Structure 1
C-alpha cells in the first residue's frame, strides 16, 4: 500500500479555520493526503480532528496571553510532541502567531523535521519589521495573502508566494438589500464582543432616533452566540442573531449597511459589496503598547490595500502616509474615535448619501480585484514545497 502524506495544520481563529479548510479542500483535489492539527468547525468539516479546541489559541492582546501563559506552554509542548510522534511531511501554521512561531522554532531545531510553511504573512509592513528576518530563519516557505507582501520577505532569502485571498474567490451573489437593515459585526473574540457591543448598542439607539424603522441583524459564531444574546438584551431594537457562514453571507446580501469590528470581516464585506463602517477599541494597556509599535495609519485592510496600489512603487506604510490620502476609502474609527455619536454620523452618511455609497462600492470592487490569484495557488505551493528536498534550501539568517 502506497504511503499517503500527512499534513499537520494549525489555525487559532475563525478566519484561519476557514483558510485552513479551503486549503484542505484544494489539496484533496490535487493529491491523496491525510490531515491532522488544530482547527475549528470549518476544518472539522473537511475531516480534521482537532488536537484541542481551537478557541484556546484565540487570545487578544498582550494581557490575554500573559494571563493564560502556563496553559499555552502546556499546549505548546503537547503540539510539538504530537508532531514528533506523527511525523507529518509538512506543518502549516496559519494564525495564532505567537503560538505558531514557537512551534516552528522548536520544529526547526529537530534533526529530522518536516517542511515548515506559514500561511499568511506577519504584518511586518505595519509593525515589528524585524519579524521578516526572524520568520525567514524558521520556515521554508511563506504563503502571502496580499500582493504587496512577498518583497518584505524575499530580501531575507525566504520563498514567498502571493497565493491570493479567499474572499476574492467567493462567488458573487445577487443582492436584495432591505432598506434600513443594519448588519452589526462586533468581532469573533470574546474580548472584542464585550468591548464593542455596548458601544454598538448605543450607536443603534442613536441611529434609531433618526431612522425609526431601523432593523438589526448580527451574524456571529456558534461559540459566541450566547455572549451576543446577553450583550444585546437591553438594546432599543429587536435584534436578529444568526450563526454560520451561509447565514453570514445571506446577511451581507440582505443588509443595507454594516458596522463592523476591524478584522478579516472587512474584506468579506467588500467582497459582498456591502458599504460599511469600521470601529475598534481595546483596553488602555493594549492601546499604549499598540501606539508604541504599530506604524500603519489605518486598521481596515481595504484602506491598506488601496494605499499600496495607489502609491506604489516605493510606498512606505507609516503614519505619514495618511497625509497622502484626504480621507480613507472606508471610514474607520479607532479608540477614542470609536464612540456612538461619530459612528452614527458615518452610518447615516452611507444610508442617505448615494454618492458616498457609490464611492465606497467602487473602492471595495477595486480592492477585491487586487486579491485574485490563480486557482489552487496555495495548495500547489504547498505540494511544491513538500516535494523540494530540504538540503536545497538556502542558508538563512539565524534567530
Structure 2
C-alpha cells in the first residue's frame, strides 16, 4: 500500500506522524511519500520540500506568498498524479491541501482522498464542507460533534479522538528537575508564554506578550517566564524575547517542553491546539491572538461561535478568557493572568473544564493515531 500524505504545519506534522505510526502497526509494509515535518520524516517519509513553506495563516498573510504557494500546489498535485497512490491523505492546512486535492481529482477522478481534521464549519464558513466534498471522500475528525456536519455534506467521517490525549506528560520529578536546571526556585510561579508556531504569529504577538509579561512581573516579580517553542521559529523567539523582562527561559527540545508544561502554574498562549496541550497538563490559561486588520474584519463578520478556544467549545463552557483582535492588549491580558495565578474559582473552573475536555476527546481509550489508521484502512477497504 502506497500513501501520499501532506501536512503544512507543526500540529499537522504531529497528527501525520501518529497516523503513520498506526498504519505501520496495522499494515506492515505500507509506503509513505509526501510533505511533512521532522516527526513525519522520522516515521519514514522524505518530504518533497520543507513543510515550513506552507506555515502561513490568514487571508492577508497568504497574499504576499500566493505565487510561490500556487507553484507548490501545482508541483504537489503533479507528483500525486504521477505516483497514483492508494490514497492521498491531507492533514489540516486546507488552503493548501484542498487546492492540491482539487487538481489531483481533475487529473485522476478515481483518486481516493482522505482529509484529517474536519474543517470547523461549526465556527465559520459552513459552505466549506460542501466544497470539500467535491474532492474528499472520507474525513478523520478530532472533535466528537463533527461527523454529522461532514456526513450531511456527503462525505463519510469518523471521530478518531484528539492526539493530545495520548501524548506523554512529564511528572512531578521532571518538573522539579526542570526548575533546578534553569535556576527556578521551587516556590516561584512559572508563567508559560506561547506566541505561536508560525513566524508571522511570533512577530505579531511577541511584543504584545512581552508587554503583558512586564505588567505581570511588576506585580509578581518572583515570577519566571518560560517560552516553549519549535525549531523553525526558535531563533526568532529568542530574538524577540531578548527584550522581555525577567530573563525568559526559551526551551526547544521535546523533553524540556514537556517538563516546562508540568512545571507551569499559568500560561499565555496564542489561539490554537496548544490550548489542548495546556489542558492535558491542567495548566490554567489565557488565550490571546491578533490578526492582520483585513483578516480580522473578515473573520469577525463570518464567525458562528463566541469563542475560539477548544477547551471552551468541547467542555461547553466559557471559562478560558480570550483577548482577540483589538482586545489583544497587554493592559487587558495581564490582569487575567494575575487572577489565574491565585487560588480561586477561576482556576478551579478551568481545571474542571480541562478534565471534561480530555474525557470528551478520548482520554483512556485507544490512542487516536491508531484509531485514525483503522479508519483509513476501513475507508480503503483494506
Q: Same fold (TM over 0.5)?
A: yes
CA offsets 1:110-168 (integer angstroms, 9 cap, x no match)? 34643100000011001111111111221110000000001111122310110000011
Contact kept? 2:323, 2:333, Cα under 8 Å = yes
Offset from partner CA, 1:217-250 (integer Å, 9 cap, x none): 1011111111111111221210111113322211
SS in 2 for 1:353: coil
Are 1:107 and 1:113, in contact at CA under 8 Å, matched by a contact in 2? no
Return the alpha-carbon distance in structure 2 between the equivalents of residues 12 and 74 of structure 1: 15
How many angstroms apart in 2 are the aligned matches of 1:247 and 1:115? 40
Structure 2 partner of 1:196: 205
Aligned to 2:358: 368
Deviations 1:268-294, CA, capped at 9 Å, x for gaps: 100111111111111211111111222
Provide the C-alpha distance between the structure 2 equivalents of 1:111 and 1:280, rounded to a whole number of angstroms: 40
8 Å Cα contact 2:141/2:160 also seen in 1: yes
| Corresponding residue of 1:117 | 114
What SS class does the counterpart of residue 242 from structure 2 fall into? coil
Post-superposition offset of 1:336: 2.1
- Post-superposition Cα deviations, 1:17-70, rounded to whole Å, max 9, x if no partner, equal 000000001110111201001011111111111000111111121122221111
Q: Deviations over 1:257-313 (max 9, x none)?
A: 111000010001001111111111112111111112222210111111122xxxxxx
Matched-pair contact (CA < 8 Å) for 2:315–2:354: no
Which of 335, 344, 352 lines up with 2:325 in the alignment?
Answer: 335
Q: Is the 8 A contact 1:217 1:239 kept in 2?
A: yes
TM-score, normalisation: structure 1: 0.88
Q: Which residue of 2 is the match for residue 205 of structure 1?
A: 214
Spell out the pairing of 1:121-136 with structure 2 (5 A cutoff).
121-136=118-133
Give the match's secondary structure for 1:118.
Answer: strand
Residue 298 of structure 2, aligned match among 286, 289, 300: 289
The residue matched to 2:107 in structure 1 has which SS? coil
Structure 1 residue 379 corresponds to structure 2 residue 373: yes
Indicate the residue corresponding to 2:335 in structure 1. 345
In 2, the alpha carbon distance for the partners of 1:247 and 1:56 equals: 26
Matched, 1:24 2:50: no
Give a deviation string over 1:291-341, Cα, whole Å, max 9, x none: 12222210111111122xxxxxxxxxxxxxxxxx6xx22111112222112
Tell whether 2:6 aligns with 1:10.
yes
1:252 aligns with 2:252: no
Write out aligned runs for 1:211-360 (5 A). Answer: 211-307=220-316, 328-360=318-350
Q: Which moved more, 1:259-268 or 1:94-103?
A: 94-103
Q: Unaligned stretches of 5+ in structure 2?
A: 177-185
Equivalenced residue count is 365
CA RMSD between the two structures: 1.5
Question: Is the Cα–Cα contact under 8 Å of residues 188 and 224 in structure 1 kept in the other structure?
Answer: yes
Quote the Cα distance in structure 1 between the aligned partners of 2:54 and 2:167.
27
Unaligned runs of at least 5 residues, structure 1: 308-324, 389-399
| Cα separation, 1, equivalents of 2:211 and 2:109 | 56
Shift of residue 171 of structure 1? 4.0
In structure 1, how many angstroms separate the alpha carbons of the residues matched to 2:23 and 2:67? 35
Q: What SS does the corresponding residue of 2:348 show, helix, strand or coil? A: helix
Match of 2:57 in 1: 60
Decide which moves more: 379-388 or 38-47. 379-388
SS in structure 2 at match of 1:164: coil
Change in Cα spacing, 1:269 to 1:174, as seen in structure 2 (3 Å) is: same
Aligned-partner SS, 1:287: helix
State the secondary structure of the residue aligned to 1:47.
coil
User: Which residue is equivalent to 1:69?
Assistant: 66
Task: Note the C-alpha offset of 1:82.
Answer: 1.0
Q: Structure 2 length as normaliser, TM-score?
A: 0.92
Residues 81, 108 of structure 2: 8 Å contact kept: no
Residue 161 (structure 2) pairs with residue 164 (structure 1): yes
| Contact kept in structure 2, 1:190 and 1:224, CA below 8 Å | yes
Whether contact under 8 Å (1:220, 1:243) holds in the other structure is yes
Separation (CA, whole Å) in 1 of partners of 2:272 and 2:113: 26
